[in-house]
Structure 1
Protein backbone atom coordinates (compact mmCIF):
# COMPACT_ATOMS: atom_id res chain seq x y z
CA UNK A 1 0.00 0.00 0.00
CA UNK A 2 1.23 3.49 -0.89
CA UNK A 3 0.13 6.34 1.37
CA UNK A 4 0.41 10.11 1.18
CA UNK A 5 0.25 11.58 4.69
CA UNK A 6 -1.14 15.13 4.62
CA UNK A 7 -0.68 17.29 7.72
CA UNK A 8 -1.98 20.89 7.87
CA UNK A 9 -0.02 23.00 10.37
CA UNK A 10 -0.34 26.53 11.67
CA UNK A 11 2.04 27.77 14.39
CA UNK A 12 3.03 24.31 15.57
CA UNK A 13 6.79 24.85 15.87
CA UNK A 14 7.07 22.82 19.08
CA UNK A 15 5.26 19.78 17.67
CA UNK A 16 6.75 19.51 14.18
CA UNK A 17 9.95 17.55 14.75
CA UNK A 18 8.49 14.86 17.00
CA UNK A 19 5.44 14.41 14.76
CA UNK A 20 7.53 13.90 11.63
CA UNK A 21 9.74 11.39 13.47
CA UNK A 22 6.68 9.47 14.70
CA UNK A 23 5.09 9.28 11.26
CA UNK A 24 8.31 8.02 9.69
CA UNK A 25 8.86 5.45 12.46
CA UNK A 26 5.30 4.12 12.13
CA UNK A 27 5.22 3.82 8.33
CA UNK A 28 8.83 3.16 7.31
CA UNK A 29 8.82 -0.61 7.94
CA UNK A 30 5.45 -1.27 6.30
CA UNK A 31 4.52 1.16 3.53
CA UNK A 32 5.76 3.29 0.70
CA UNK A 33 4.82 6.77 1.81
CA UNK A 34 5.35 10.50 1.58
CA UNK A 35 4.70 13.18 4.19
CA UNK A 36 3.17 16.42 2.92
CA UNK A 37 3.19 19.15 5.53
CA UNK A 38 1.19 22.22 4.52
CA UNK A 39 2.29 25.29 6.45
CA UNK A 40 -0.83 27.43 6.54
CA UNK A 41 0.66 30.90 6.93
CA UNK A 42 2.45 30.28 10.24
CA UNK A 43 3.95 33.31 11.98
CA UNK A 44 6.35 31.32 14.18
CA UNK A 45 9.27 29.03 13.30
CA UNK A 46 7.09 26.23 11.89
CA UNK A 47 8.35 26.67 8.32
CA UNK A 48 12.00 26.85 9.44
CA UNK A 49 11.58 23.66 11.46
CA UNK A 50 10.08 21.92 8.43
CA UNK A 51 12.99 22.96 6.21
CA UNK A 52 15.45 21.56 8.74
CA UNK A 53 13.51 18.28 9.01
CA UNK A 54 13.49 17.92 5.21
CA UNK A 55 17.28 17.50 5.30
CA UNK A 56 16.81 14.34 7.39
CA UNK A 57 13.64 12.87 5.93
CA UNK A 58 13.60 12.42 2.11
CA UNK A 59 9.90 11.50 2.24
CA UNK A 60 9.02 14.98 3.54
CA UNK A 61 7.49 17.53 1.17
CA UNK A 62 6.68 21.08 2.27
CA UNK A 63 3.94 23.28 0.87
CA UNK A 64 3.48 26.83 2.12
CA UNK A 65 0.50 29.18 2.16
CA UNK A 66 1.72 32.78 2.36
CA UNK A 67 -1.39 33.69 4.36
CA UNK A 68 -3.55 31.50 6.59
CA UNK A 69 -6.39 29.95 4.55
CA UNK A 70 -7.79 27.50 7.11
CA UNK A 71 -7.50 23.78 7.77
CA UNK A 72 -9.79 22.60 4.98
CA UNK A 73 -7.91 24.57 2.31
CA UNK A 74 -4.58 23.32 3.66
CA UNK A 75 -5.80 19.72 3.46
CA UNK A 76 -7.07 20.32 -0.09
CA UNK A 77 -3.70 21.78 -1.08
CA UNK A 78 -1.90 18.73 0.28
CA UNK A 79 -4.25 16.18 -1.27
CA UNK A 80 -4.06 17.92 -4.65
CA UNK A 81 -0.26 17.64 -4.59
CA UNK A 82 -0.17 14.03 -3.34
CA UNK A 83 1.19 11.32 -5.62
CA UNK A 84 -0.47 8.24 -4.06
CA UNK A 85 -4.08 7.10 -4.27
CA UNK A 86 -4.63 6.69 -0.52
CA UNK A 87 -4.46 9.78 1.69
CA UNK A 88 -3.98 9.76 5.45
CA UNK A 89 -4.64 13.01 7.30
CA UNK A 90 -3.90 13.94 10.88
CA UNK A 91 -3.73 17.13 12.90
CA UNK A 92 -0.43 18.88 13.46
CA UNK A 93 -0.85 19.32 17.22
CA UNK A 94 0.37 15.83 18.13
CA UNK A 95 -2.91 14.65 19.64
CA UNK A 96 -3.49 12.10 16.87
CA UNK A 97 -1.23 9.06 17.16
CA UNK A 98 0.65 8.44 13.86
CA UNK A 99 0.77 4.71 14.68
CA UNK A 100 -2.99 4.65 14.13
CA UNK A 101 -2.45 5.32 10.42
CA UNK A 102 -1.36 1.69 10.24
CA UNK A 103 -4.49 0.68 12.12
CA UNK A 104 -6.69 2.37 9.50
CA UNK A 105 -4.62 0.89 6.67
CA UNK A 106 -4.92 -2.62 8.11
CA UNK A 107 -8.70 -2.20 8.34
CA UNK A 108 -8.80 -1.03 4.70
CA UNK A 109 -6.81 -4.05 3.59
CA UNK A 110 -9.38 -6.33 5.20
CA UNK A 111 -11.91 -4.75 2.80
CA UNK A 112 -9.58 -4.34 -0.18
CA UNK A 113 -12.07 -6.01 -2.53
CA UNK A 114 -14.77 -3.49 -1.66
CA UNK A 115 -14.91 -0.81 -4.33
CA UNK A 116 -17.37 1.23 -2.28
CA UNK A 117 -15.09 1.74 0.76
CA UNK A 118 -13.79 5.25 0.20
CA UNK A 119 -12.97 6.38 3.74
CA UNK A 120 -11.92 5.10 7.14
CA UNK A 121 -12.52 7.66 9.88
CA UNK A 122 -10.79 7.74 13.25
CA UNK A 123 -13.03 7.61 16.33
CA UNK A 124 -11.50 9.18 19.47
CA UNK A 125 -13.38 7.00 21.94
CA UNK A 126 -11.24 8.24 24.87
CA UNK A 127 -10.75 11.98 24.48
CA UNK A 128 -7.82 13.72 26.18
CA UNK A 129 -9.47 17.15 26.44
CA UNK A 130 -11.04 19.15 29.24
CA UNK A 131 -14.63 18.51 30.30
CA UNK A 132 -16.13 21.41 28.36
CA UNK A 133 -14.48 20.42 25.09
CA UNK A 134 -15.63 16.83 25.55
CA UNK A 135 -19.20 17.95 26.19
CA UNK A 136 -19.31 20.38 23.28
CA UNK A 137 -17.86 17.75 20.94
CA UNK A 138 -20.39 15.10 22.02
CA UNK A 139 -23.22 17.61 21.65
CA UNK A 140 -22.12 18.71 18.18
CA UNK A 141 -21.63 15.10 17.03
CA UNK A 142 -25.09 14.08 18.25
CA UNK A 143 -26.77 16.99 16.43
CA UNK A 144 -24.82 16.31 13.25
CA UNK A 145 -25.62 12.58 13.28
CA UNK A 146 -29.31 13.25 13.85
CA UNK A 147 -29.56 15.69 10.96
CA UNK A 148 -27.14 14.18 8.44
CA UNK A 149 -27.53 10.48 9.34
CA UNK A 150 -23.87 9.88 8.57
CA UNK A 151 -23.47 7.05 11.13
CA UNK A 152 -20.05 8.44 12.12
CA UNK A 153 -19.49 9.01 15.85
CA UNK A 154 -16.58 11.45 15.51
CA UNK A 155 -16.22 13.45 12.30
CA UNK A 156 -14.02 16.00 14.09
CA UNK A 157 -11.15 13.53 14.39
CA UNK A 158 -8.32 14.68 12.11
CA UNK A 159 -7.11 11.11 11.57
CA UNK A 160 -8.67 9.74 8.38
CA UNK A 161 -7.71 7.48 5.48
CA UNK A 162 -9.45 8.05 2.15
CA UNK A 163 -9.15 7.79 -1.61
CA UNK A 164 -7.56 10.83 -3.21
CA UNK A 165 -9.69 10.86 -6.37
CA UNK A 166 -12.97 10.58 -4.45
CA UNK A 167 -11.98 13.47 -2.17
CA UNK A 168 -11.09 15.73 -5.07
CA UNK A 169 -14.46 15.05 -6.72
CA UNK A 170 -16.31 16.54 -3.76
CA UNK A 171 -17.48 20.18 -3.91
CA UNK A 172 -15.06 22.25 -1.84
CA UNK A 173 -16.11 24.58 0.98
CA UNK A 174 -14.40 25.83 4.13
CA UNK A 175 -14.66 23.32 7.02
CA UNK A 176 -15.49 20.46 4.65
CA UNK A 177 -13.01 18.32 6.63
CA UNK A 178 -15.60 18.14 9.44
CA UNK A 179 -18.29 16.79 7.11
CA UNK A 180 -16.31 14.41 4.92
CA UNK A 181 -18.19 11.23 5.97
CA UNK A 182 -21.56 12.79 5.12
CA UNK A 183 -20.24 14.05 1.78
CA UNK A 184 -18.70 10.66 0.95
CA UNK A 185 -21.96 8.86 1.76
CA UNK A 186 -23.98 11.34 -0.31
CA UNK A 187 -21.87 10.55 -3.37
CA UNK A 188 -22.16 6.78 -3.05
CA UNK A 189 -19.18 5.77 -0.93
CA UNK A 190 -18.90 3.76 2.27
CA UNK A 191 -17.32 5.02 5.50
CA UNK A 192 -16.01 2.83 8.33
CA UNK A 193 -15.19 4.27 11.77
CA UNK A 194 -12.18 2.84 13.61
CA UNK A 195 -11.30 3.46 17.27
CA UNK A 196 -8.03 5.38 17.57
CA UNK A 197 -5.84 6.83 20.29
CA UNK A 198 -6.15 10.47 21.38
CA UNK A 199 -3.32 12.15 23.25
CA UNK A 200 -3.12 15.33 25.33
CA UNK A 201 -1.75 18.44 23.66
CA UNK A 202 1.75 19.00 25.08
CA UNK A 203 2.65 22.21 23.27
CA UNK A 204 0.84 25.19 21.76
CA UNK A 205 -2.86 25.90 21.95
CA UNK A 206 -6.01 25.08 20.04
CA UNK A 207 -6.70 27.21 16.97
CA UNK A 208 -10.47 27.12 17.57
CA UNK A 209 -12.66 28.75 20.19
CA UNK A 210 -15.78 26.87 21.27
CA UNK A 211 -18.15 29.68 20.25
CA UNK A 212 -16.40 30.22 16.90
CA UNK A 213 -16.62 26.50 16.13
CA UNK A 214 -20.29 26.36 17.13
CA UNK A 215 -21.35 29.26 14.91
CA UNK A 216 -19.34 28.04 11.93
CA UNK A 217 -20.66 24.51 12.49
CA UNK A 218 -24.29 25.63 12.36
CA UNK A 219 -23.79 27.48 9.09
CA UNK A 220 -21.81 24.62 7.55
CA UNK A 221 -24.37 22.05 8.69
CA UNK A 222 -27.13 23.92 6.88
CA UNK A 223 -24.92 24.06 3.78
CA UNK A 224 -24.30 20.31 3.85
CA UNK A 225 -28.03 19.65 4.21
CA UNK A 226 -28.60 21.84 1.14
CA UNK A 227 -25.94 19.94 -0.85
CA UNK A 228 -27.35 16.54 0.13
CA UNK A 229 -30.86 17.49 -0.95
CA UNK A 230 -29.56 18.53 -4.36
CA UNK A 231 -27.48 15.45 -5.03
CA UNK A 232 -28.68 12.28 -6.72
CA UNK A 233 -27.24 8.82 -7.27
CA UNK A 234 -28.46 7.41 -10.59
CA UNK A 235 -28.45 3.67 -11.24
CA UNK A 236 -26.74 3.29 -14.59
CA UNK A 237 -26.85 0.36 -16.98
CA UNK A 238 -25.37 0.28 -20.43
CA UNK A 239 -27.80 -0.74 -23.14
CA UNK A 240 -26.30 -3.14 -25.64
CA UNK A 241 -27.27 -3.36 -29.28
CA UNK A 242 -29.63 -6.04 -30.53
Structure 2
Protein backbone atom coordinates (compact mmCIF):
# COMPACT_ATOMS: atom_id res chain seq x y z
CA UNK A 1 0.00 0.00 0.00
CA UNK A 2 1.19 3.51 -0.80
CA UNK A 3 0.65 5.73 2.21
CA UNK A 4 0.13 9.49 2.04
CA UNK A 5 -0.02 10.49 5.72
CA UNK A 6 1.96 9.43 8.80
CA UNK A 7 0.63 10.11 12.30
CA UNK A 8 3.39 10.36 14.91
CA UNK A 9 2.42 9.41 18.47
CA UNK A 10 5.07 10.18 21.13
CA UNK A 11 4.84 7.68 23.99
CA UNK A 12 6.21 8.00 27.51
CA UNK A 13 4.76 5.74 30.23
CA UNK A 14 1.32 5.59 28.61
CA UNK A 15 0.43 1.90 29.10
CA UNK A 16 -3.02 2.87 30.38
CA UNK A 17 -3.82 4.72 27.15
CA UNK A 18 -2.29 2.36 24.57
CA UNK A 19 -5.32 0.02 24.15
CA UNK A 20 -7.48 3.10 23.50
CA UNK A 21 -4.87 4.45 21.09
CA UNK A 22 -5.00 1.24 19.08
CA UNK A 23 -8.79 1.34 18.91
CA UNK A 24 -9.15 5.07 18.14
CA UNK A 25 -6.37 5.16 15.54
CA UNK A 26 -7.58 1.96 13.86
CA UNK A 27 -11.07 3.46 13.61
CA UNK A 28 -9.65 6.64 12.14
CA UNK A 29 -7.58 4.81 9.51
CA UNK A 30 -10.79 3.26 8.18
CA UNK A 31 -12.33 6.67 7.44
CA UNK A 32 -9.20 8.77 6.80
CA UNK A 33 -9.35 10.93 3.67
CA UNK A 34 -5.66 10.14 3.03
CA UNK A 35 -4.08 6.69 3.20
CA UNK A 36 -2.72 6.73 6.72
CA UNK A 37 -0.21 4.89 8.87
CA UNK A 38 0.86 5.37 12.48
CA UNK A 39 4.36 5.68 13.91
CA UNK A 40 4.73 5.34 17.69
CA UNK A 41 7.89 6.90 19.12
CA UNK A 42 8.59 5.38 22.53
CA UNK A 43 10.57 7.96 24.47
CA UNK A 44 12.25 5.50 26.83
CA UNK A 45 9.12 4.41 28.73
CA UNK A 46 9.73 2.59 32.00
CA UNK A 47 6.34 0.85 32.18
CA UNK A 48 4.87 -1.81 29.87
CA UNK A 49 4.27 0.57 26.97
CA UNK A 50 6.85 -1.05 24.69
CA UNK A 51 5.49 -4.58 24.98
CA UNK A 52 2.01 -3.29 24.18
CA UNK A 53 3.29 -1.35 21.17
CA UNK A 54 5.10 -4.40 19.83
CA UNK A 55 1.92 -6.46 20.10
CA UNK A 56 -0.03 -3.82 18.15
CA UNK A 57 2.60 -3.49 15.42
CA UNK A 58 2.99 -7.25 15.04
CA UNK A 59 -0.67 -7.70 14.13
CA UNK A 60 -1.31 -4.50 12.16
CA UNK A 61 0.72 -3.42 9.16
CA UNK A 62 -0.54 0.17 9.47
CA UNK A 63 1.37 0.57 12.76
CA UNK A 64 5.12 0.77 13.44
CA UNK A 65 7.35 2.01 16.26
CA UNK A 66 10.68 3.55 17.18
CA UNK A 67 12.17 2.92 20.63
CA UNK A 68 14.62 5.37 22.22
CA UNK A 69 17.38 3.95 24.42
CA UNK A 70 16.39 6.42 27.15
CA UNK A 71 14.02 9.31 27.83
CA UNK A 72 14.94 12.33 25.68
CA UNK A 73 11.75 14.40 25.74
CA UNK A 74 8.82 15.36 23.54
CA UNK A 75 10.65 17.46 20.95
CA UNK A 76 13.27 14.76 20.19
CA UNK A 77 10.45 12.22 19.84
CA UNK A 78 8.65 14.44 17.35
CA UNK A 79 11.89 15.09 15.45
CA UNK A 80 12.65 11.35 15.26
CA UNK A 81 9.18 10.86 13.81
CA UNK A 82 9.71 13.63 11.24
CA UNK A 83 13.10 12.16 10.26
CA UNK A 84 11.61 8.67 9.79
CA UNK A 85 8.61 9.82 7.76
CA UNK A 86 8.51 8.93 4.06
CA UNK A 87 4.98 10.06 3.26
CA UNK A 88 3.99 13.40 1.72
CA UNK A 89 2.23 14.49 4.90
CA UNK A 90 3.06 14.07 8.58
CA UNK A 91 1.06 14.86 11.71
CA UNK A 92 1.10 14.11 15.38
CA UNK A 93 -1.23 13.55 18.29
CA UNK A 94 -0.60 13.11 22.00
CA UNK A 95 -1.01 9.65 23.49
CA UNK A 96 -3.45 10.92 26.12
CA UNK A 97 -6.15 11.26 23.42
CA UNK A 98 -7.35 14.60 24.74
CA UNK A 99 -7.76 15.38 21.05
CA UNK A 100 -9.50 13.00 18.64
CA UNK A 101 -7.81 11.34 15.63
CA UNK A 102 -11.12 11.81 13.79
CA UNK A 103 -10.37 15.54 13.66
CA UNK A 104 -7.35 14.88 11.44
CA UNK A 105 -9.81 14.84 8.54
CA UNK A 106 -10.78 18.44 9.38
CA UNK A 107 -7.13 19.46 9.14
CA UNK A 108 -6.40 17.40 6.03
CA UNK A 109 -9.17 19.16 4.12
CA UNK A 110 -7.10 22.36 4.22
CA UNK A 111 -3.62 20.95 3.61
CA UNK A 112 -3.63 21.36 -0.21
CA UNK A 113 -3.64 25.16 0.27
CA UNK A 114 -1.48 25.30 3.40
CA UNK A 115 1.83 23.87 4.60
CA UNK A 116 0.81 23.43 8.24
CA UNK A 117 -2.70 23.07 9.62
CA UNK A 118 -3.04 23.14 13.40
CA UNK A 119 -5.94 22.50 15.72
CA UNK A 120 -7.34 25.03 18.18
CA UNK A 121 -8.84 23.25 21.19
CA UNK A 122 -12.44 24.20 21.89
CA UNK A 123 -14.03 24.00 25.37
CA UNK A 124 -10.84 22.68 26.93
CA UNK A 125 -11.34 19.99 29.57
CA UNK A 126 -8.30 20.93 31.65
CA UNK A 127 -7.78 22.36 35.11
CA UNK A 128 -7.99 26.12 35.61
CA UNK A 129 -4.26 26.28 36.33
CA UNK A 130 -3.39 24.34 33.20
CA UNK A 131 -5.58 26.57 31.01
CA UNK A 132 -4.20 29.73 32.63
CA UNK A 133 -0.56 28.72 32.20
CA UNK A 134 -1.23 27.69 28.60
CA UNK A 135 -2.94 31.03 27.86
CA UNK A 136 -0.03 32.94 29.38
CA UNK A 137 2.52 30.90 27.43
CA UNK A 138 0.64 31.54 24.18
CA UNK A 139 0.54 35.30 24.82
CA UNK A 140 4.29 35.41 25.49
CA UNK A 141 5.12 33.21 22.50
CA UNK A 142 2.97 35.28 20.11
CA UNK A 143 4.73 38.44 21.32
CA UNK A 144 8.06 36.89 20.32
CA UNK A 145 7.10 35.08 17.12
CA UNK A 146 4.27 37.22 15.69
CA UNK A 147 2.81 34.00 14.25
CA UNK A 148 -0.78 34.80 15.25
CA UNK A 149 -1.47 31.22 16.40
CA UNK A 150 -4.03 30.98 19.21
CA UNK A 151 -3.16 27.51 20.54
CA UNK A 152 0.30 26.39 19.49
CA UNK A 153 0.24 23.72 22.21
CA UNK A 154 -2.63 21.87 20.57
CA UNK A 155 -1.32 18.32 20.02
CA UNK A 156 -3.07 17.90 16.68
CA UNK A 157 -1.21 19.13 13.61
CA UNK A 158 -0.69 18.20 9.94
CA UNK A 159 2.41 19.39 8.09
CA UNK A 160 3.80 18.85 4.62
CA UNK A 161 6.78 16.59 5.28
CA UNK A 162 9.12 18.61 3.08
CA UNK A 163 8.62 21.54 5.47
CA UNK A 164 8.71 19.48 8.67
CA UNK A 165 12.04 17.88 7.80
CA UNK A 166 13.68 21.29 7.19
CA UNK A 167 12.92 22.53 10.70
CA UNK A 168 16.13 22.84 12.77
CA UNK A 169 14.73 21.28 15.92
CA UNK A 170 15.84 22.17 19.44
CA UNK A 171 14.30 21.21 22.79
CA UNK A 172 10.98 22.96 23.23
CA UNK A 173 10.57 23.72 19.52
CA UNK A 174 7.33 21.74 19.32
CA UNK A 175 5.77 24.97 20.64
CA UNK A 176 7.12 26.90 17.65
CA UNK A 177 6.21 24.68 14.69
CA UNK A 178 3.87 27.26 13.07
CA UNK A 179 6.52 29.97 13.46
CA UNK A 180 9.13 27.67 11.88
CA UNK A 181 6.87 27.05 8.89
CA UNK A 182 6.42 30.82 8.47
CA UNK A 183 10.22 31.19 8.45
CA UNK A 184 10.20 28.93 5.40
CA UNK A 185 7.62 31.24 3.78
CA UNK A 186 5.00 28.54 4.28
CA UNK A 187 1.32 29.10 4.92
CA UNK A 188 -0.49 28.08 8.11
CA UNK A 189 -4.14 27.50 8.97
CA UNK A 190 -5.94 27.14 12.32
CA UNK A 191 -8.97 24.86 12.65
CA UNK A 192 -11.22 24.35 15.72
CA UNK A 193 -11.04 20.79 17.14
CA UNK A 194 -12.61 18.85 19.99
CA UNK A 195 -10.99 18.46 23.40
CA UNK A 196 -11.51 15.76 26.04
CA UNK A 197 -10.36 15.11 29.62
CA UNK A 198 -7.40 12.82 30.22
CA UNK A 199 -8.73 9.37 31.20
CA UNK A 200 -5.53 7.45 31.97
CA UNK A 201 -1.88 8.16 32.69
CA UNK A 202 -0.35 11.32 34.10
CA UNK A 203 0.52 14.61 32.44
CA UNK A 204 4.24 15.04 31.74
CA UNK A 205 4.13 18.83 32.11
CA UNK A 206 4.19 20.97 35.25
CA UNK A 207 4.63 24.64 36.12
CA UNK A 208 8.17 24.91 34.73
CA UNK A 209 7.54 23.46 31.27
CA UNK A 210 4.17 25.17 30.90
CA UNK A 211 5.19 28.70 31.82
CA UNK A 212 8.83 29.51 32.65
CA UNK A 213 10.24 26.91 30.23
CA UNK A 214 8.40 28.35 27.18
CA UNK A 215 9.70 31.84 28.03
CA UNK A 216 13.29 30.57 27.94
CA UNK A 217 12.51 28.78 24.66
CA UNK A 218 11.35 32.09 23.15
CA UNK A 219 14.84 33.52 23.51
CA UNK A 220 16.29 30.38 21.93
CA UNK A 221 13.83 30.83 19.05
CA UNK A 222 14.90 34.45 18.49
CA UNK A 223 18.56 33.39 18.38
CA UNK A 224 17.78 30.60 15.93
CA UNK A 225 15.66 32.94 13.79
CA UNK A 226 18.60 35.31 13.35
CA UNK A 227 20.82 32.38 12.30
CA UNK A 228 18.23 30.53 10.21
CA UNK A 229 19.21 29.62 6.64
CA UNK A 230 16.51 29.20 4.01
CA UNK A 231 16.79 28.93 0.24
CA UNK A 232 15.05 27.56 -2.83
CA UNK A 233 16.51 26.16 -6.05
CA UNK A 234 15.16 27.73 -9.24
CA UNK A 235 17.17 25.64 -11.71
CA UNK A 236 19.65 22.78 -11.74
CA UNK A 237 21.80 21.05 -14.35
CA UNK A 238 21.55 17.52 -12.97
CA UNK A 239 19.11 15.07 -11.43
CA UNK A 240 19.48 13.75 -7.90
Calculate the TM-score normalised by the size of structure 1.
0.90
Residues of 2 paired with 1:59 and 1:155: CA distance? Answer: 28
Please state how far the C-alpha of 1:145 moved relative to its aligned partner: 1.1
Moved over 3 A (4+): 229-238
**Structure 1 segments unaligned to the other structure (5+ residues):** none
Residues of 2 paired with 1:175 and 1:164: CA distance? Answer: 20
Please give the secondary structure, in 2, of the residue aligned with 1:174: coil
**Structure 2 segments unaligned to the other structure (5+ residues):** 236-240
Contact 2:137-2:215 within 8 A present in 1 as well: no
Task: State yes or no: 1:55 paired with 2:62.
Answer: no
Task: State yes or no: 1:69 paired with 2:72.
Answer: yes
Please state how far the C-alpha of 1:85 moved relative to its aligned partner: 1.3
Please state how far the C-alpha of 1:33 moved relative to its aligned partner: 1.4
Residues of 1 paired with 2:52 and 2:227: CA distance? Answer: 44
Please give the secondary structure, in 2, of the residue aligned with 1:188: coil
Kindly tell me the number of residue pairs found equivalent between the two proteins: 232
Aligned Cα root-mean-square deviation (Å): 1.9
Residues of 2 paired with 1:234 and 1:45: CA distance? Answer: 44
Contact 1:185-1:191 within 8 A present in 2 as well: yes
Q: Determine the structure 1 residue equivalent to 2:13.
A: 11
Contact 2:29-2:37 within 8 A present in 1 as well: no
Task: State yes or no: 1:163 paired with 2:160.
Answer: yes
Please state how far the C-alpha of 1:32 moved relative to its aligned partner: 1.4
Residues of 1 paired with 2:233 and 2:59: CA distance? Answer: 50
Residues of 2 paired with 1:100 and 1:185: CA distance? Answer: 23
- Within 5 Å, give how 1:104-115 maps onto structure 2: 104-108=107-111, 112=112, 114=113
Please give the secondary structure, in 2, of the residue aligned with 1:87: strand
Question: Quick one: which of 114, 122, 129 aligns to 1:125?
Answer: 122
Q: Determine the structure 2 residue equivalent to 1:29.
A: 31
Please give the secondary structure, in 2, of the residue aligned with 1:162: strand
Structure 1 residues 226 and 102: CA distance shift in structure 2, 3 A: same
Q: Determine the structure 1 residue equivalent to 2:238.
A: none
Residues of 2 paired with 1:236 and 1:40: CA distance? Answer: 36
Contact 2:137-2:210 within 8 A present in 1 as well: no
Please state how far the C-alpha of 1:165 moved relative to its aligned partner: 1.7
Question: Quick one: which of 132, 136, 139 aligns to 1:135?
Answer: 132
Please state how far the C-alpha of 1:234 moved relative to its aligned partner: 7.2
Please give the secondary structure, in 1, of the residue aligned with 2:119: strand
Please give the secondary structure, in 2, of the residue aligned with 1:12: coil
Residues of 1 paired with 2:146 and 2:140: CA distance? Answer: 10
Task: State yes or no: 1:191 paired with 2:193.
Answer: no
Residues of 2 paired with 1:73 and 1:83: CA distance? Answer: 18
Per-residue Cα deviation, 1:172-218 (whole angstroms, up to 9, x for no partner): 20111111011111121111011111110001110111124323212
